Amino acid sequence: MAVMTDSADLTLDEIRVLLAPAIAENAAFDGWGAAARDMAAEMNGIDRDVAALAFPGGAVDMIDAWFASVDAAMLVTLPPERLAAMKIRQRITALVEARLAATAPHREALRRALAILAMPQNVATAAKLGWRSVDTMWRAAGDVAADYNHYTKRAMLFAVYGATVTVFLDDESEDHAETRAFLARRIDGIMRFEKAKAGITRRAQRRPSLTRFVGRLRYPVV
């Protein structure tokens, strides 16, 4: 029988961080519900009632906490000094693969989580959680864009990651080779788009400005 710890020593945020991975372990069998949460609480010596308070939104809150823990694990696997030695394409690829690797032991839990997030009432939350993860990846990769590039990069990676997860869930190849190959092709697409976009931007900057030309007609340079 598990020995209860004094949960008063932990904040609810700390309890969520502590329990999220254990809930995912149980969610593969018990679903994202009270049974998985209670079992995780017992495993970690947390009172069940306190655990319930930590996840007032039920399954969605548990999934949210797990996804946050997966993002944290991804960043631990790829610290800044390791990413710094890579090119941007390698960084994004490595980050996506690290995030998938963190969920690999719990693919059934991930499948169930995505089914819950696909429900109409949870679509907005699903988008928020997905955007949070791709934003974390781009920031870890060193992206500091604050203009429209900030959004286009994340939107593209959001789509790529979602499609890659779909392949990943049913990938039985060794070391998820099929998923890696699929991801590589999609990352190629992002890089080609970014290269083309950069070329268009450079050409636009070199293009004569009609406004500047008219201004010079009115106020000629002496």
Residue ranges and CATH numbers for the domains of the chain are: 87-222 (1.10.357)
Widest CA span in the chain: 90
Distance in angstroms (rounded) separating the CA atoms of residues 132 and 100: 15
How is residue 219 annotated by DSSP? S
Express each pLDDT in 2-45 by its tens digit: 444 556 689 999 999 999 999 999 999 999 999 999 999 999 99
pLDDT of residue 207 exceeding 70, the answer is no
Least reliable range by pLDDT among 31-35, 127-131, 198-202 = 198-202
pLDDT at residue 147, rounded to an integer = 82
Token reading at 97: 């693969």
For residue 66, name the pLDDT band (cuts at 50, 70, 90).
Answer: very high
Percent of the chain topping pLDDT 70: 83
Residue 33 · residue 58 · CB < 8 Å: yes
